[in-house]
Amino acid sequence: MRFISFIFFISISVGQWTSFKLDDLSDYSKDSPYLYRTAGLTATHHFTMAINGENRITYGGSLLKGISANGIMPTLHSQIKVSWNLTLRGRMAAYSGKEGAVQMFGWGVTLKPGKKEEPSKWIINYDSGHLNSYDEVKVSSLQVMAVRELVWNKNPIFLGIGLNILKAVPYESAGVNFQGKTEIQTNLFSIGTAISFSGVKAIPQILVGPGFSMISLSLAGTF
């Protein structure tokens, strides 16, 4: 658990947490899609990590940063291997600032096609999540992604392509200028890897879509 504490220490030290305050947007019609995508992709974020051998559970934490959004988003993750080709996972985040509380939770499924003796190099991920910024906005999100596992210099490389669909609903208290439901569909490309040290895996990842990008760093262990 020490590395999870390390993640939160770093997140506090290097900058503020992500704010979803709509009044801070200089141009709502232009800037709100960046903010909503940050919320939607955070709610469905996961890291690709194989659970090998007799291990069944992965646990860890992530720091996420939308390139066009303010602050850093800290999250906690866990996943459990049900069978050789099926993994279930969950994620959550909760923090508060002067703008109010932000809460996020989500779940997901990973399916590996093929046979146990000859598993496919492809991984299919389905994720659902919700983010609630108190008195500002509620965002629900669905994401499907196909990931191809490659090896370069003995290091795994994960290349993915997918789709994220989100629905954002501002609270009435956010102001009359922000009323109305917004739905956004984003096509995504992802690239990441996993680096082992001291029994822990560091998993950097980049998500790129039209007019939007997000970087993340996750630390995870298994047992």
* Tens of pLDDT, residues 74-110: 899 999 999 989 999 999 998 886 667 899 999 999 9
For residue 16, what pLDDT is reported? 72
Q: How far is 45 from 106, CA to CA, in rounded Å?
A: 9
For residue 118, what pLDDT is reported? 86
**The dihedral sign for the CA sequence 34, 40, 43, 46:** negative
Greater pLDDT, 136 or 69: 136
pLDDT digits (tens, 9 = 90+) for 143-191: 999 999 998 888 899 999 999 999 999 887 666 566 678 999 999 999 9
Q: How far is 175 from 136, CA to CA, in rounded Å?
A: 9
For residue 109, what pLDDT is reported? 96
- What letter does residue 17 receive in the DSSP assignment? B
Residue 12 has pLDDT above 70, yes or no: no
For residue 23, what pLDDT is reported? 67
Backbone φ and ψ for 177, nearest 5 degrees, come out as -70, -15
| All domains in the chain, ordered by first residue | 2-222 (2.40.160.20)
Nearest to 147 by CA among 137, 162, 133: 162
Q: Is 180 left (phi over 0), alpha (psi -120 to 50) or beta?
A: left
Strands (E), the chain: 57-66, 73-83, 86-97, 100-111, 122-133, 137-152, 155-170, 182-193, 195-197, 200-209, 212-222
Q: How far is CA 31 from CA 21, 35, 119, 139, 144, in A?
A: 12, 7, 43, 16, 25
For residue 43, what pLDDT is reported? 95
**Once rounded to an integer, what is the mean pLDDT over residues 15-36?**
71
